[in-house]
Each structure stands twice: as C-alpha cells, then as structure tokens.
Amino acid sequence: MSETVSKNFFTKVLIGGIVGVATMLFVASGIFAYVGARSFSETPVVVSLTRLFEVPVATVNGERILYADYVADKKIIEIYNEQQGGQLDAPAISDVVLQRRIANKMLEQEARKFNVSVSKEELDAELETLFAQAPSREEAERSFMEQFSQFGWDMDDYKEQVLYYAVLQRKLTDAAKVLPEGEMGIEEVSARHILLLTSPKKATSTVEAAAQAALSRVKAGEDFAAVATEVSEDPGSAANGGDLGWFARGMMVPEFEEAAFALEPGQITDALVQTDYGFHIIKSEGKRQVRDVEAYFSEVFDTAQIEMTLDIRNPFEQTVPTQPEVSEVSDTTTPVVEVQQ
C-alpha cells in the first residue's frame, strides 16, 4: 500500500471517533514502537498504521526493517510456498522473509559506504538480459506477468524488489574489491589469450606450428585481440578478443597461471605455453591488489547488530557463529522467474 493511501486511511480512522481516540492513546503510550506482547496482527488496518508510524520488525545496525514490508513479503512467500506444495512451515517462511530483508538492508548500508548506486537504465538493461534468454520477448513478458499478478506485482515491483538488489550486489562486489593505493591484498591479473587446441585427431606438431605462427604475428605488432578473434579456439573468449577478465591465483591451470602472473602489463609471452588444453599465447592487460570480498562480507555479517523489535524469531540466531557464504547471500537477490518454453 502506498504512503498516500496509508495516510488517507489513517485520517478516516481518526474521524471514526472511538477508534480514532483509541489509536491516539496507543500512539501516546508508545505502543507502535514497543507493544506489551511485542506482536501485531496482520490485518490491513494494523499493517497500514504500522507503516504510517514506521514500526520496525527488526533493526540492522540501527536501521529499521518495517513490519509492513515484512508482512507484504510474507504473503508473497506464502503464495509461492503453497504453489510448491507447502514445504515450509510458518516459522520457516518468516525466516526466509527476514533473511532476505536483513541481507538487503546490509547491501544498502554497504552500498552507501562504497558510493554504489543503481540507475533506472541499469535495471532496464538487466531486464532486457533476462528477456533475451527466453524464446521470445512476448512469451517472456506474458510469463512474467502471469507470475507477478499472483503476488499483486507489476514489472516495476519486480525491478524494485528483486532486480535492484541483484544489480546492487554485483556492483557492490566489484566496488568492495578495490583497495586503497598501497594496501596489499589478493593479487589479480587481467589477461587475454590465444588458444590452439590439441586433440587425438590433430597432430601436436601441426597445432604447435599454427600457434607459433600466431605468436609471430602478435610479436610483430598485430593487434592481439584481432588475432585472437581470428584464430583462437577457446569458445569462451575468442569472440571477445581472447579477454579472460580478472582472475586470482588458483583459478587457472598451473602452467597458464605461472606464465600469466610472471608478465608485466602489456607484455606477451615470449614462447608458447603448453597445457592439457593445447598451446596458449598470453598477453597481460593489468595487475591489481584486491580485497578478499568473501572475508570482508563475512566480517560485515559477523559484526552486524541485528535486533528483533517484535516477538518474531531472529533467523540468524540459529546460524551464528557459522557465516553465510557470499553465494548464499546472492541467492536472496537472484531474479528467479520461470519462463514457459
């Protein structure tokens, strides 16, 4: 329910006389912040009033998670749970809602710290990426809207409640990696490569000769990305000029890693690098020191002050001191919509 509707509704309640007087007494006694039993009904009247007075169900580092948002999310999860056969009981549904809300609140707080934001254009682009994975845009939109209508959502709600946090987390992860100049962390390399594959069907000498010819071309000054696009047989990077992006130690096979990390930015390997895949030519695009993001966000979670202000179970009390992996937090924000084929 919108803020305007909430205010109009509350005005009608106050005009109602006895109900209005009772409400005023509740406000005066502080019942909207700390109820005796510390619990609320989920009726529309009560939920509207709690939104108006910004009553929290929990706080994360002093910032409120509103009870009204908790109730709205819980209704959606209840619908989805029923569709899936009712595998979750009421406490488990509450846990799912609070875990998502708490994780998202932490994302918002960290995003402010790293000056990360998400624009409307970025959300639109993310939605287009999802639509592109479907057989047709028309079918994707129809499938999306069929699912949203069950939750009382439209496309803007989906962008705000789901896509926003998916994009925010991705951008925040990138921003959090960056260390102040001079600080040491995890060394990463950005590299391109040209790969000529070996196989039982090819003579190794023939493959090596082709790789040597490519090496001679880039050493002679030809554009590395152009040669990679032309001759590389790596299906994952050839179309992008051999670009492998940033990677840390332990992510590549040992022979490739040793050669890549030995290069200075702009350098190309003097000789072919042979691995089980074939013959590689590697060019370093850059080096950097980055923060251990998993350890950083684990500490953020570990030191967060999570307090329940109503009589509802804290879902994280069951997991402390075990911390969630970054991938688990990611699951709370991943856009999941089934597109019928």
The 10s digit of each residue's pLDDT in 173-223 is 999 998 887 888 999 999 999 999 999 999 999 999 999 999 999 999 999
Q: How many helices (H) and strands (E) does the chain have?
A: 14, 7
* Mean pLDDT value of segment 309-337: 53
Per-residue pLDDT for 29 more than 70?
no
* Mean pLDDT value of segment 212-239: 97
Lowest mean pLDDT among 29-43, 207-221, 299-313: 29-43
Percentage of the chain with pLDDT > 70? 80
Q: Taking all residues of the chain, what is their mean pLDDT, rounded to a whole number?
A: 81
CB 153 within 8 A of CB 161: yes
Percentage of the chain with pLDDT > 90? 57
More confident of the two residues 123 and 139? 123
- pLDDT recorded at residue 78: 92
Per-residue pLDDT for 37 more than 80?
no
Per-residue pLDDT for 170 more than 90?
yes
The 10s digit of each residue's pLDDT in 93-103 is 999 999 999 99
Beta bridge partners of 157: none
More confident of the two residues 243 and 130? 243
Give the three-class secondary structure for 300.
helix
What would the two tokens of residue 146 be?
A: 């069929």
Beta bridge partners of 231: none
- Residue 232 CB-half CA count within 13 A: 25
Query: At 329, is the pLDDT very low, low, confident or very high (cuts 50, 70, 90)?
Result: very low
- pLDDT recorded at residue 40: 54
- pLDDT recorded at residue 283: 98
* Largest interatomic CA distance in the chain: 93
More confident of the two residues 131 and 336? 131
More confident of the two residues 320 and 201? 201
* Mean pLDDT value of segment 221-232: 98
The 10s digit of each residue's pLDDT in 263-297 is 999 999 999 999 999 999 999 999 999 999 989 99
Q: Comparing C-alpha atoms, which of 155, 137, 134 is closest to residue 146?
A: 155
Helix residue ranges per DSSP H, the chain: 3-15, 18-28, 44-52, 67-83, 90-113, 120-132, 137-151, 155-158, 164-177, 204-219, 224-231, 254-262, 293-303, 326-331
Tell me phi and psi for residue 167, to 5 degrees. -70, -40
* Mean pLDDT value of segment 233-260: 96
The 10s digit of each residue's pLDDT in 52-86 is 778 889 999 999 999 999 999 999 999 989 988 99
- pLDDT recorded at residue 232: 98
* Mean pLDDT value of segment 21-36: 30
Q: Report the amino acid identity of residue 182.
A: G
Query: At 48, is the pLDDT very low, low, confident or very high (cuts 50, 70, 90)?
Result: confident
- pLDDT recorded at residue 318: 53
Per-residue pLDDT for 323 more than 70?
no
